[in-house]
Structure 1
Amino acid sequence: MREVQVPPPPPDGLRSIGELAEHAGVTVKTVRFYSDRGLLPEAVRSAGGHRRYGPGAAGRLRLIRSLRALGLPLPEVARVLDEEREAGPALEDAVAGRLRVLGSQRKALNWQEAALRLVQESPPGERAGRLRLVGALGAPPGTDPLVRFWRAWLPPRMPAGATAAFLEAAVPEPPDDPAPAQVLAFARLNALVQQPCTGGERPQPQIHGAVGARGSVLLYAGLAEAYGLAGACLRRGDAPRPGQELDCFVAAYAGAYGRRDTPDFRRVLTGQLATDPRIDRYWQWTAEVITPAGAPREPTPGTAYDWLLAALGAETAAAA
């Protein structure tokens, strides 16, 4: 391989734009571009108005090219150069910001690829419908429609902390690297929560109209604990049965109503919960979104609720 000859530095330490370009192995146009944007200031101008660059210009140009090779935008490059330290906080911030951008871009590309595979692998009769479903999503999609759905569904005047805790459990985050089936499930969720409700109002459980802000806090804090206990049973494959999971579930309703947990209360609660509106498809598709391909189905608040409701119904029937 032929050795590249680097021209020696001039006697006065100053280089013309052409000499600097040759020394750095770039074009004159590149040096002029960075110079015109203030990233590579010249030391002086010759009598004829030509740019002359000082001894540090070559190192500064190498740093600029390294930062640009990593994809950093010009404003970030300028901040790193202004700090006059190659490994200072400005560089750390710039690298962290670039990594966030790349992560977002990678997530968007993963979603686009999975969506395209979904359309490609769909039966011909379903392809157009699925294309419309996934086409309504962003890449990567957001969760704002799901959050709005639940905020309208939850009891009025529910405290912000309790609302946030429920939303964390009820709103699935889109996977960073989804399978086509997960894209389809999330698209179906998105369409479900945005379709108009019959009569213009979303049906809600009876208890939402019977408890105030304090009652809703007690209810949803207790339900979150009960759902966690029931989720462990679901993962083990346990059949619905009385136990601490059911006791915690009933205690949440008893606390919200200000009642004692008695057999009569459990009997009335069984009948009330049996008539509450259901959104089974939401929880079905949520499970598909949060469960990786080939893995056992992850429990959701909906499947935990069904397990607990079945346990309550079996206990009530046995007592009767």
Structure 2
Amino acid sequence: MTVAIVGGSGFLGRHVALRLLAHGARPLVIHRGNEPANLPEAVLIAHADRTDEAALRAVFGAHDVKVVIDIFALSLGNTQPVINAAARQGARYVLTSSVDVYANYAGLLRKETPPIRPAPASEDAPLRNMRYPYRGNPRRPQGVSEDLFDNYDKLVLEEAAAAADLDLVVIRPPMIFGVADKQRRFGWVVDNARPGEPFAIDERAFGWPNSYGYVEDVAEAMVLAALSPRASGKTYNVGQDIVRTAAQWATHLLAILDIDSAVVAAPAGQGVWADRADAMDLRYPLTLDTSFIRADLGFAELIDEDIALRRTLASYAPLGH
């Protein structure tokens, strides 16, 4: 079976291709060709722009694509052509969505004031009402254009895909960490740790819970959902089955780094994450309940957590390099 990965040459897509190979599928990575894919020879490569529906349809047809996994779906403009091409091909469409579709995220951004839901969100938890959460936000991630940032909304994409005539599977991951993560998800610990000195976290962020997922494990979950007949029409939260607060993450990561520092709460406005606490309402957790995909598809992590964390932390270049 040929499975197309649109945007498959980057951080997450590369691991999805490798897991497809491990499951006996034939991965077809579709990207613009601006950078080398660095993938095994068994992975098929095609060059096309994801906004060029005709080019995508031609590639899907030439390779008899049965499933399309969409990695870099950010805005309706950069995603509707992929949805349309998948529908014309009669292929299953696997959308990479996000934890940010849930109502807690709108509260976290101070865009809405939904009831605070302290428990990890299951797939049927309330979704946010507001749209385009990053419009007006100056903190644009590396590699994301201003247009994509302003028009980013995974909830809009879920709605567009659901309205199309295709077999839809939605994956909602949290923040993803791993080797070659340009966003350095745990850089806040690595960059601020000083052996022998307390590791201070703003008291407003000290107890804030957040979910993460390791890139190889998230890729495995996506491939299970892409290939399983059981997954048809379903939505799955994907990520670790544990939840830690900022303080607990710092304690765990400092131990892995072999840095002897006490994790302490600093007064508001001081310490790590003071800027985040200023910008967000950290009464709202950003956590996921991932039990459904484990029960429904038998998902389990491939990599021991401490091994995954050691690999990730070892890959970080010093700040500023």
User: Structure 1 length as normaliser, TM-score?
Assistant: 0.23
More strand, by proportion: 2
Structure ID, larger Rg: 1
More helix, by proportion: 1
Higher RCO (CA 8 Å, separation ≥ 6 residues): 2
